[in-house]
Amino acid sequence: MERALQYVMTGISLGSLYALVALGVVLVYRANRILNFAHGEVTTVSCYVAFLLSGQNYPWWLAFAAAVLVGALLSLLFYWCVIIPAQRRQATHLGQVALTLGFALVLQGLILSFCDTEPQTFPFPLSESQVYRLGDVVISQLGLGALVVGVVGSLSCFFLVKKTRLGLAMQATSENLPAAQTLGIPTRRILALSWSLAAAFGVVAGLFLATALLIDPFYMLEPFFKGFAAAVLGGLNSLPGAMVGGILLGVAEALAGGFISVAFKNALAFLIIIIVLLIRPEGLLGKEFIERI
């Protein structure tokens, strides 16, 4: 029982980071009905910025802030300079997805050209060796920080979208773009904000994951797919679903790795997703998307 509780705590901590990545996927999907496959590479570039600034002895908070800013600006520029012109030329949703994939490959090439390809230790203010005991459960300082940041970030995103005027504008734009434009909502700015917020959440998660996984040009590949899987599990149009999906995926991974095998934990997580989608294709908390034509 103690082992199970320990694995669950570890899974919740990791799953909270998956939830942040999933929130980025969901924000872009809600805004444009496309899947952003450059999400992981934008995070990787941004975390390398933090890594390089830390190596120059800049304060960690400045390096982290710069990383979040770079990620938000990269996504903003991609939306304004690539996605908007493609939409004006009546590009299909599949074509826009292909553009995000191309952007991911461009960023990956830049990382490989200008950064060291060897896995390196990422400097972080929280320690993975210092631990706290909560009853029978032990959690590291880094794990506790990841849990707090994941929960605070997820709740902040939820309340921003659901409880503020800006969030209402984002909901109106994602649900009915022509009607939102008729009401005078600056839809382009709102959509650009969605892309920037998505990148910011991904970078925050990536900074913690870089510490746990070591940073290299491909370190965000697996976390991105886990975040994408969490978004699908919870529902691609549901922000609470992204949070729930991330936590469930993290716990399933931890339990499978602890009681079955480390090699099988990824397979089990995606097996759960397949079963859920066969029963409920829109995800656990998602709603069926109906578009009139």
CATH code, domain carrying 246: 1.10.3470
Q: Are 89 and 26 in contact (CB under 8 A)?
A: no
Look at residue 285 and tell me if it is in a domain.
no
Per-position b or e across 173-210, b if 16+ CB within 10 A of its CB: bbeebeebeeeebebeebbbbbbbbbbbbbbbbbbbbb
Over residues 152-165, mean pLDDT: 87
Q: DSSP H helical segments within 164-220, as ranges?
A: 165-175, 177-182, 187-213
Over residues 171-200, mean pLDDT: 87
pTM for the full predicted model: 0.91
Pairwise CA distance, residues 229 & 118, whole Å: 27
Domain that holds residue 218: 2-279
Look at residue 270 and tell me if it is in a domain.
yes
Tell me what pLDDT residue 68 has.
95
**pLDDT surpasses 60 at 141:** yes
Tell me what pLDDT residue 206 has.
93
Higher pLDDT, 85 or 163: 85
- Taking only the tens place, the pLDDT of each residue in 49-100 is 999 999 898 999 999 999 999 999 999 999 999 999 998 998 888 999 999 9
Confidence class of residue 214 from pLDDT cuts 50, 70 and 90? confident
- Cα 257 to Cα 3, 10, 143, 254: the distances in Å are 12, 11, 17, 5
Percent of the chain with pLDDT over 90: 38
Number of domains in the chain: 1
DSSP one-letter string for 254-272: HHHHHHT-GGGHHHHHHHH
Look at residue 121 and tell me if it is in a domain.
yes
**pLDDT surpasses 80 at 199:** yes
Look at residue 114 and tell me if it is in a domain.
yes
Q: Are 26 and 161 in contact (CB under 8 A)?
A: no
**pLDDT surpasses 70 at 290:** no
Look at residue 292 and tell me if it is in a domain.
no
Confidence class of residue 288 from pLDDT cuts 50, 70 and 90? low
Confidence class of residue 115 from pLDDT cuts 50, 70 and 90? confident
Mean pLDDT score across all residues of the chain: 87
**pLDDT surpasses 70 at 261:** yes
**pLDDT surpasses 80 at 267:** no
Tell me what pLDDT residue 289 has.
54
Confidence class of residue 176 from pLDDT cuts 50, 70 and 90? confident
